[in-house]
Amino acid sequence: MNTHYQKYKDLVPIVPQSNENATITFPDGKTYKIPILKGTLGPPVLDIRNLAQQTGYFTYDPGFTATSSCASQITYIDGEKGQLLYRGYKIEDLAENCSFMETCYLMIYGQLPCKKEKEAFEELVVSEMVVHKKIQDFYQGFQADAHPMAIMLGVVGALSAFMYQEFNVNDSRDREHIAIKVIAKIPTLAAYAFRTASGLPLIQPKKKYNYVQNFLYMMLANPMDEEFQIDEVIVQAIDKILLLHADHEQNASSSTVRIAGSSQANPFACIAAGIASLWGPMHGGANEAVLNMLEQIGNVDNIEKILQMSKDKSSGFRLMGFGHRVYKNFDPRAKIMQKMCYKVLQAVGQDTMPLFDLALKLEQAALNDKYFLDRKLYPNVDFYTGLVYKAIDIPVNMFTVMFVIARSIGWITQWSEMMAEGLNKIGRPRQVYVGEKIREFVKIEDRKKQNQSNILQMPKLAKVTNLMKL
């Protein structure tokens, strides 16, 4: 690709030097020193990179919840304080004073843009929102009832076929261009996923609209209307939601993007891998679960009963939208989202929306309950996001797709940072093997029926129509 313009400065995380060690003693009596690393913020980290080579021992950490898989300059979370930083800026300051496009610029370049830089950046991103005609043709191949996330997974992965040879992922200018293409194409693909599921024709972005306006236009515009109109409060709300979800450290989907990228996979394939991870209900589907829970509760008279059920582990009921894997205090994004939720409901004339009133009452009841306070189960950002989406008629099956649009900048920045670091180290976790030891091989004629599977009872899918149902 054309790279005549000046390279931008690579943002390469520097692993700190160790000034002290921890000592570990093994069953044979031998002791080993493990370097202690200290970042600019956060807890100290034991550097175990050479542990296996020196001792023959690996570490066991399912879910990697106590493992730092990388050094990063992008996002920092202090769960105890309820603090979230993007490139050192508090999320509250960014949400109050910046747009999502400014945040994207910050993520890519490490600094907030001036007015001219912001305008030039958004103009460039909007100009890249058009997608190839053959990508648009992909949508015709999906079932009418296909989930929008399944569509996103397919079409984002398909971008790899259209944008491959022209990129050199080891060139910072090319990575910059990739990042811009990712954040530009994703909202268009998301809008098309919605319109495909709704049976509406696909429409092109327009130069006169900004980033968020273009997304809403491509998703919600009625073909019969002369002019697309949408309340500016709704535009601002979507912009805030995207900003609040832009990145969140090394979560499941971001880690998936990094793992895929460590094999030098195509960047769009890496983003598709992140989408697959985000689709899981334990990651990206929480706001949908909150909305379903509120509808299940029904009215304020049932709140006490629901709270008691959530305390009873045998009930199988979980209070959605409360608590977080990292935050042990208020999720700072939740407070911002609560205010924005009320503004949106007022703008669309639903400030007396029963579900919103129910959500407020539920939040108040939980925050005055010793059980939840002792366990630091505070409302998180998902508690209010679904209400905003519902108020502006975004269907439930699009909730996680909205998350994809927001997190695309975080994913591509995490990927770019890893590539800039140049470690060329493929992700390769180890395991504790608990399977069979070496067994003697038995020839097939000497093997007995083991009754370990239901294969003999499974019906054959003889008809072509059944086969097509997968």
Active site (catalytic) residues:
324, 382
Gyration radius of the chain over CA positions: 25
Q: Give the three-class secondary structure for 88.
A: coil
Rounded distance between C-alpha atoms, residue 407 and residue 409, angstroms:
5
8-state DSSP, 139: G
Whether the CB-CB separation of 254 and 139 falls below 8 Å is answered with no
Whether the CB-CB separation of 275 and 404 falls below 8 Å is answered with yes
Given the structure tokens 């993520």, which residue do they identify?
107
Rounded distance between C-alpha atoms, residue 340 and residue 432, angstroms:
47
Helix locations, 128-167, DSSP H: 133-138, 148-162
CB count in 10 Å sphere of residue 278 = 25
Rounded distance between C-alpha atoms, residue 370 and residue 55, angstroms:
47
Rounded distance between C-alpha atoms, residue 221 and residue 192, angstroms:
12
Minimal CA–CA distance to 179: which of 402, 420, 409, 422? 409
Q: What angle do CA 400, 327, 89 make, to 5 degrees?
A: 85
Minimal CA–CA distance to 206: which of 116, 99, 119, 130? 130
Dihedral sign computed on CA atoms, order 140, 238, 204, 200: positive
Minimal CA–CA distance to 221: which of 433, 213, 450, 419? 213
Contacts of 337 (CB under 8 A, 6+ apart): 240, 241, 244, 381, 383, 384, 385, 388
Q: Give the three-class secondary structure for 123.
A: helix
Question: Measured between alpha carbons, how far is residue 451 from residues 6, 454, 455 in Å?
Answer: 67, 7, 9
* HEC string for 426-454: CCCCCCCCCCCCCCCCCCHHHCCCCCCCC
